[in-house]
Chain A
Amino acid sequence: AQKITQTQPGMFVQEKEAVTLDCTYDTSDQSYGLFWYKQPSSGEMIFLIYQGSYDEQNATEGRYSLNFQKARKSANLVISASQLGDSAMYFCAMRRLIQGAQKLVFGQGTRLTINP
Chain B
Amino acid sequence: DTGVSQNPRHKITKRGQNVTFRCDPISEHNRLYWYRQTLGQGPEFLTYFQNEAQLEKSRLLSDRFSAERPKGSFSTLEIQRTEQGDSAMYLCASSLSPAVSSYEQYFGPGTRLTVT
The reply to whether chain A is a binding partner of chain B is: yes
- The verdict on B106 contacting chain A, using a C-beta distance below 8 Å, is yes
- The verdict on B50 contacting chain A, using a C-beta distance below 8 Å, is yes
Contact with A along B23-65 (1 / 0, CB 8 A): 0000000010101000011111100101000011000000000
Cβ–Cβ contact B89 & A43, under 8 A = yes
- Name the contact of B42 in the complex, choosing from A91, A99, A100, A103 (C-beta under 8 A): A91
Complex A-B: 13 CB contacts under 8 Å: A42-B109, A45-B93, A46-B107, A47-B105, A93-B42, A97-B98, A98-B55, A99-B50, A101-B56, A103-B56, A106-B43, A107-B42, A108-B40
Q: A99-B50, A99-B55 are in contact. List 7 more A-B contacts (CB 8 A).
A: A33-B103, A43-B109, A100-B98, A101-B33, A101-B48, A104-B33, A109-B41
Which residue numbers of A lie inside 8 Å of B, CB to CB? 4, 33, 35, 37, 42-47, 50, 52, 91, 93, 95, 97-109
Which residue numbers of B lie inside 8 Å of A, CB to CB? 31, 33, 35, 40-45, 48, 50, 55-56, 89, 91, 93, 95, 97-98, 102-110, 112
